[in-house]
Structure 1
Amino acid sequence: MNLFNKKILVTCALPYSNGSLHLGHLLEQIQADIWIRYKKITNNSIYFICSDDSHGTPIMLKSIDLNIKPELLINNFNKEHIKNFKDFSIYHDYYYLTNNHENKRLINKFYFILKKNNLINYKYIYQFYDVYNNIFLPDRFILGKCPKCYSKDQFGDHCNKCNSVYNSINLINPKSTLSNSIPILKKTKHIFINLNNFKNKNNVLIKKLFCQKEIINKINEFIICDMESYNISRDYPYFGFKIPNEINKYFYVWVDALISYISTFKRFCHNINDIELFDKFWNLNSNYDIYQFIGKDIIFFHSIIWPYILDLLNLRKPTKIIVHGHLTINGYKMSKSTNNFITVDSYIKTFNSDYLRYYFASKLSLNINDIDFNIKDFYIKVNYILIDKIINIPYRIKNFLNNIFQNKLSDEIDTNLYNDFIFRSDYIWKLYEDFNFLEVVNIVIDLSNILNKYISNNEPWNCNNINKLHKICSTSINLFKIIVLYIKPIIPTISYDLEKFLGISLTKNSLKFILKYNKINFLNKNILKKINILDLNKLI
């Protein structure tokens, strides 16, 4: 498999425009960004896009509550989200909003294709209605028991425990989160798309989009379930795109959110004056790759509705869709009501962004189990492993280099040990390729242990042979250079400081060159700043 010199488009699921980002939003973006940085190190051309999901009832209600227009609300959060991502070294080539003209044009095109092919049905259905707020309730404003596994406090469209998808009216003991009242069932007319033929014809193709076995099992459930059609409309009042030639009907937010993967990249191509690039990625015969990162709560939309949309628009399917678990805090579901919740802003005020990137990487693989942000575990992994075992390595020999050798390296190193470190590179790149960042971190720790043992065994502080001492120091720096390269996609800010210290910008080709006679530079002491447990406890 050729891992290098490819052209790739990467997307993440869309953060919602009605609030500030929390650490759960960062999990997916960091996962994608680590993979992107690895790909760039190995000479691939990457485009990274995302958007804010900027339609829906929650946005309408929040703008009413704040007495501002929805457009102002979503634009304000869009700026905040972009800043938050940059604070964690996540730089999108283009970050947009679903509320844009290109997205509206594409969703209307999709709708007219549906009409032309007689794929739309009108049905009268019953939906939950909040009589105190005079509004049909969106799925996320209804809580109750899951009808499949009976877990409490599950949303009206899916269960976070068993990942089942269901109709909100099947929820047990439903309650409106707007008024804390029991909603009534009210009859209303809606627009449905026919899914049956698509599921039957494309079940093999759909499963090929995913690389995790647990996901395939879940998709099989979606394919064989009795859901023959899907509701793509919502009632007034609503903030979103109006459905053409319909009265008080709007496109469901999930339809334009999925289509925004296409429209956002199209807008990016227009902005760089390369509209041909869009066709090169999205036409049916494209040789380019598209990788999409999502959470396990939205598998249904990306396994059934998203391929359905692409099919009708005559566009290619993604190369792979990578799914991750939810983020929990100290073993419990994130919740504002129980104060078990960490915003991006509260974290970044006190802590280095790379610490969180490293911690997430130490837990990320293709496993879709939930990932726990445990305060004690975070403290130990950052202070005693990342800082003490890895970043601290050059500090163990820097005084000898500075005081005796004027920061200049020798031309002689332990080449056997150096070659042993290089020998791991193909396996490291393969682990990155397979999204197994947990194992990358484990190998980096192993190599750091080997290097620390090498320094301890050779005792430079007791060495009276100048040439041998110079070789020990130069070997240590060159081995450390390899470690920094291997972990660079995970901790980019710290790696940048370490690259300045080494006097080299590290790429895959850096493995070929031994640093000889090089002069190393000043080492930033701030990268050794440890986490204070008292500050950490204040996060929650």
Structure 2
Amino acid sequence: MSQRRKILVTSALPYVNGSPHMGHLVEYLQTDIWVRFQKLRGHDCIYVCASDAHGTPIMLKAREMGITPEALTEGYSAEFANDFRDFGVEFDNYHTTHSPENAALVNEMYEALRHKDDIYTRTIEQSYDEAEGMFLPDRFVRGTCPRCKSADQYGDACEVCGATYTPADLIDPVSVLSGTRPVKRESEHYFFRLSRYEEPLRRWMSDATLDRNVVAKLEEWFDAGLRDWDISRDAPYFGFRIPGTEDKYFYVWLDAPVGYMASFKNLCARRSDLNFDDYWRPGSDAEVYHFIGKDIMYFHTLFWPAVLQGAGFRTPSSVFAHGFLTINGQKMSKSRGTFIKARTYLDNLDPSFLRYYYATKLGPTIEDLDLNFDDFVARVNSDLVGKLINIASRCAGFISKRFDGKLAERLPDAGLFSELAAASEQLADHYERREYSKAMRSIMAFADKANRYIDEHKPWVMIKDEQKTDEVQLVCTQGLNMFRSLMIFLSPVIPAVARDARQFFNEDSWQWQDAASPLLGASLRKFKPLLTRVEADQVERMVEQSKESTPVSDTNSEGNTISIDDFMKVDLRIARIAKAEAVEGADKLLALTLDLGDSSRQVFAGIKSAYDATSLVDRHVIVVANLEPRKMRFGVSEGMVLAAGPGGKDVFLLSPDDGAQPGMRVK
């Protein structure tokens, strides 16, 4: 093993205006596995995190609930901390960005940047909601992306094509608070000269071990030209006030990553063996790694390294980005019961199951991860229960009952154990590179070999022959030692199961290298079942509870009202019917080819009884443009035209006034 390393690891700070859910857990479990691996290897590895506790969304939610922002964030922070703990996520410190440490560091960095003339002010035009009486954060303005024309995108970045921009660039912008079109008002804002830092950022990019997809995205941003970064927001705002001002606050994305440093500083104050400057000042020999989601790469790979360097601090060793979570191949959905809170999972299933399943899916790239419930049940039962735990279950009883719980003094097949021990460094390399899925496949392949060894020797048959009693002890010692090594290798992934296994082996602690040395002649404790099978009805109950935990008001349940957010999700467009024809074999359908200005699509409409196909050509209609395509017997329908009436011959297509052009949005 290489020399002892000094490592500081962070996960992105969870935004505490709601409860933790299954999507959150991808990142924290990925990080926790890596940290536990580093500690198992004997390295000094510190894992800190904090609640992201500032910003307009928190301020508005607290106002809506009639409580202070501090009370809101304290409540959700406690919920996150409890759920993380119960999933086995082991922070060395969990803090908050609304802290004196964070305020002091933010002010220190601001003054350092201002001293270097990296901060300046200029008057800008900003989106203002007259109905709400406040300036709007970028993400409180939604509209059509100026690059790819995708509807209902945030005011700072497009989730479809990845473009970054300002709310002023959006097509047809709307305030998500009031549903009204924002007006422009002038305000003096503070800017960080990011444009000065292209060369330092390029050097950092070449030194950091970034995923190739992250590098490609950075190159795209460099090619587009780095724009100076607006680091201020106008009152009302929940955050830190900029020194020397009365109504200007630091943008949450300036103080949030500083929260990594603040959490570590808070830990240093309680631990005499840690020194803040040893980790965060230039020349530090410590490694610093940030685990994040791919949606916040822009902030962590451009703004954050530049701000750190400009303020006189060291830059991260690397930033590790991961993809999003889908469930059963789709985005998490409250209506389908797949928007599952962390606590709902814990109320129904063992957290070790999810830790292992995520590990089987995780790699070092930004590809999305899918939690398929059928696969989840099958894989957990097959791998953890049917393969891994089965090794111990088949051997422990014989050792306990016939040999007073004592292992043999030697291994009957030292070559098989040596093969497993020799895999140690390859497995360590997989963990180091965050190639967890490769590590899990390799570990389970050795579990198969251990089970085959037991099957071939059949200790349950040999025990009936008094002359083969000693062989039974040897075979079971071989099986249990392979199980022990596999559990050491898996302890970063399923630490609770590994702890119980270690207690069975009567050992106080494990290090990674212990897996390469057999445990011989030792006395074991009585074996207790380590895991039980997961049943499909447990998953079904969790899904049903997730449906039930999505409250719907009495008014909404009657279908009378929807929120403005729900309405804005529907992308209504003007379309010209370029072609209309009957569908062979369908009594009610017409196949319409629609011209939406920059694209065309096919829609099947049940209007055959009311309209002659030829009369519809060149007519303008309104179409739902972002409806999920529906595969029908006659082909794929890519939208829906709007009509009124009870049906049959009494169907009336909705059409716009003269002058409306294909592609225009209806709002």
TM-score normalized by structure 1? 0.95
C-alpha separation in 1, matches of 2:313 and 2:494: 36
Q: Output one character per residue of 1:74-123: Cα deviation in whole Å (capped at 9) or x when no partner.
A: 12222221111110111211111111122112222222233322223333
Question: CA 1:339 to 1:245, structure 2 compared with 1: closer, same or farther past 3 Å?
Answer: farther
The residue type paired with residue 8 of structure 2 is L
Match for residue 650 of structure 2? none
Match for residue 375 of structure 1? 373
Counterpart pick for 1:485 among 454, 476, 488: 488
8 Å contact from structure 1 (residues 392, 528) kept in 2: no
Match for residue 170 of structure 2? 171
Counterpart pick for 1:531 among 529, 534, 537: 534
8 Å contact from structure 1 (residues 12, 49) kept in 2: yes
Q: Output one character per residue of 1:243-288: Cα deviation in whole Å (capped at 9) or x when no partner.
A: 122231111000001212222212211122456x111111211111
Identity of aligned residues (%): 35
More divergent stretch after superposition (65-74 vs 501-510): 501-510
SS in structure 2 at match of 1:148: coil
Match for residue 155 of structure 2? 156
2:357 paired with 1:359 = yes
Match for residue 266 of structure 2? 267
Match for residue 300 of structure 2? 302
More divergent stretch after superposition (8-17 vs 510-519): 510-519
Show the 5 A alignment for 1:2-151: 3-151=2-150
Match for residue 455 of structure 2? 456
Counterpart pick for 2:521 among 508, 517, 522: 517
Match for residue 330 of structure 1? 328
More divergent stretch after superposition (286-295 vs 169-178): 169-178
SS in structure 1 at match of 2:450: helix
Q: Output one character per residue of 1:34-68: Cα deviation in whole Å (capped at 9) or x when no partner.
A: 11111111110111111111000111111111111
8 Å contact from structure 2 (residues 232, 248) kept in 1: yes
Cα offset for 1:20?
A: 1.2
8 Å contact from structure 2 (residues 486, 515) kept in 1: no
8 Å contact from structure 1 (residues 141, 155) kept in 2: yes
More divergent stretch after superposition (221-230 vs 90-99): 221-230
C-alpha separation in 1, matches of 2:139 and 2:386: 44
Match for residue 398 of structure 1? 396
Match for residue 387 of structure 2? 389
More divergent stretch after superposition (144-153 vs 20-29): 144-153
C-alpha separation in 1, matches of 2:326 and 2:38: 29
The residue type paired with residue 481 of structure 2 is N
TM-score normalized by structure 2? 0.77
SS in structure 2 at match of 1:477: helix
Cα offset for 1:461?
A: 1.9
The residue type paired with residue 535 of structure 2 is N
C-alpha separation in 2, matches of 1:294 and 1:214: 14
The residue type paired with residue 506 of structure 1 is W
Q: Output one character per residue of 1:272-320: Cα deviation in whole Å (capped at 9) or x when no partner.
A: 2456x11111121111111111111111111111111111221111112
Question: CA 1:337 to 1:142, structure 2 compared with 1: closer, same or farther past 3 Å?
Answer: farther
CA RMSD of aligned residues (A): 1.9
C-alpha separation in 2, matches of 1:3 and 1:127: 53
C-alpha separation in 2, matches of 1:405 and 1:536: 41
The residue type paired with residue 539 of structure 1 is M
8 Å contact from structure 1 (residues 122, 189) kept in 2: yes
Match for residue 251 of structure 1? 250
Stretches of structure 1 lacking an aligned partner (at least 5 in a row): none
The residue type paired with residue 395 of structure 2 is I
The residue type paired with residue 516 of structure 1 is L
C-alpha separation in 1, matches of 2:534 and 2:177: 40
SS in structure 2 at match of 1:271: coil
SS in structure 2 at match of 1:55: coil
SS in structure 2 at match of 1:133: coil
The residue type paired with residue 297 of structure 2 is I
More divergent stretch after superposition (466-475 vs 422-431): 466-475
SS in structure 2 at match of 1:362: helix
SS in structure 2 at match of 1:143: strand
SS in structure 2 at match of 1:293: strand
C-alpha separation in 2, matches of 1:99 and 1:296: 25
The residue type paired with residue 174 of structure 2 is K
Cα offset for 1:374?
A: 1.6
Segments of 4+ moved more than 6 angstroms: none
Question: CA 1:253 to 1:451, structure 2 compared with 1: closer, same or farther past 3 Å?
Answer: same
C-alpha separation in 2, matches of 1:359 and 1:209: 29
SS in structure 1 at match of 2:98: coil
**Higher relative contact order by CA 8 Å / sep ≥ 6: 1 or 2?**
1
C-alpha separation in 2, matches of 1:156 and 1:538: 38
Q: Comparing both structures, which one devotes a greater share of its residues to helix?
A: 1
C-alpha separation in 2, matches of 1:338 and 1:122: 48
8 Å contact from structure 1 (residues 235, 250) kept in 2: yes
2:317 paired with 1:319 = yes
SS in structure 2 at match of 1:250: strand
Stretches of structure 2 lacking an aligned partner (at least 5 in a row): 544-667
Question: CA 1:170 to 1:214, structure 2 compared with 1: closer, same or farther past 3 Å?
Answer: same
SS in structure 2 at match of 1:383: helix
The structure that has the greater radius of gyration is: 2
